[in-house]
Amino acid sequence: MTCPCKSGKEYPQCCAPIHKGEQAAKTAEALMRSRYSAFVLADINYLMRSHHKSTRPLRDKKNILNFAKSVTWMGLQIVSSKAGKETDTEGWVEFKATYLENGRPQCIHENSYFVKDKGIWYYKSGEHK
């Protein structure tokens, strides 16, 4: 199957190795894409693991899983990214994720903040646009 992050690549060549922990996301944007596809696949464990431990929403785990499963994910659009490259330790990715909730189109428009901790990228926080 093509990867749910809409990169145009096949899932096994895109987000799958990151989800399985075989490979780390090289950039903040790659981590962002892998988190979007984890929402599509309702991979809650990966969503928790890729969320920095300082802000990891463990108490909302079930709600996040229910939300991810209850909506129809339509697509991801990266609006812009700042830093977050292989040599950086922090980065920002502004994105729009669209989905249908009870048949109605909805959009998450967020500027996400990513940090690198011991060489691994994590999602830390997001600011809704």
Q: Where does this chain bind Zn ion (CB under 5 A)?
A: 3, 5, 7, 14-15, 33, 37
Cβ distance to Zn ion smaller for residue 2 or 54: 2
The distance of closest approach from Cβ of residue 122 to Zn ion in the complex, given in angstroms and rounded to an integer, is 18
The distance of closest approach from Cβ of residue 121 to Zn ion in the complex, given in angstroms and rounded to an integer, is 14
Cβ distance to Zn ion smaller for residue 3 or 71: 3
Q: Which residues contact 18 (CB under 8 A, 6 or more apart)?
A: 24, 25, 30, 31, 34
Please return the burial class of 19, using the count of CB atoms within 10 Å of its CB with bins 0-12, 13-18 and 19+.
buried
CA 30 – CA 114 distance, rounded (Å):
11
The distance of closest approach from Cβ of residue 13 to Zn ion in the complex, given in angstroms and rounded to an integer, is 9
CA 127 – CA 35 distance, rounded (Å):
16
Cβ distance to Zn ion smaller for residue 7 or 98: 7
CA 18 – CA 31 distance, rounded (Å):
8
Cβ distance to Zn ion smaller for residue 34 or 116: 34
The distance of closest approach from Cβ of residue 102 to Zn ion in the complex, given in angstroms and rounded to an integer, is 27
CA 78 – CA 112 distance, rounded (Å):
11
